[in-house]
A = this chain, B = another copy of it.
Amino acid sequence: MSGVYEQLTQFPLFSGISESELKELAGEMSLKSFDAGNDIIREGDTGEEMYLLTAGTVDVIKKTMFGDSYVCATLDSDKHCVFGEMALIDSDVRSATVRAKTSCSTLVIDKCAFDRYINAHPSTGIVLLKLISINLVRNLREENNNLELVYQALIDEIENS
């Protein structure tokens, strides 16, 4: 389990959490590995886990309404990326597929374990929820910008056609 703790200390998401509480959080997590080409999360599935990418690279893939797939982001373990965090907040379906581009290692925590942990350690829970919220806000601002760009491209296309 010390391996999990060591890896956790690398993630900015958990900076500012005391050693003892971080070790306890490590106890709520499990290790999962994926071969290149395998789906870690599938768009449309229900799921209640957040993943911390500790080794490897993943593609975040979305489908258009006609079923065409496109890669909307690539995440690398060097950047200590986190994905699936929306599942810790609500229990709706996955908004994208996350596919291992190389062989990958992850640390996984599910909603139940997360809720148990933040309720047992509310002060640390606040730190974690704020950091997850910052991730959500950053994604929301990015989606706003993307929407504006695509909307403008649509207007241009209509005006020039």
Query: Which residues of chain A have a CB within 8 Å of any CB of chain B?
Result: 62, 64-66, 86, 89-90, 92, 95, 118-119, 122-123, 125-126, 129-130, 132-134, 136-141, 143-144, 146-155, 157-158, 161
Contacts of A136 on B, CB cut-off 8 Å? Answer: 89, 133, 136-137, 140
A62, A118, A154 interface centre (most CB from chain B within 10 Å): A154
* CA A153 to CA B147, docked complex, whole Å: 12
Tell me which of B66, B137, B143 contacts A89 (CB under 8 A): B137
> Could you say how many copies of this chain the assembly holds?
2
Contacts A66-B152, A126-B122, A161-B161 given: A90-B147 contact, CB under 8 Å? no
Specify the chain B residue showing the minimal Cβ separation from A123.
B122
Distance in angstroms from A30 CB to nearest chain B CB is 23
Cβ-defined contact, B89 with A148, below 8 A: no
Provide the residues of chain B in CB contact with A126, threshold 8 Å: 118-119, 122, 125-126, 129
A-B contact pairs, 15 of them (CB 8 A): A64-B151, A64-B152, A66-B152, A89-B130, A90-B137, A95-B140, A122-B125, A126-B126, A126-B129, A129-B129, A129-B133, A132-B133, A139-B140, A143-B144, A157-B161
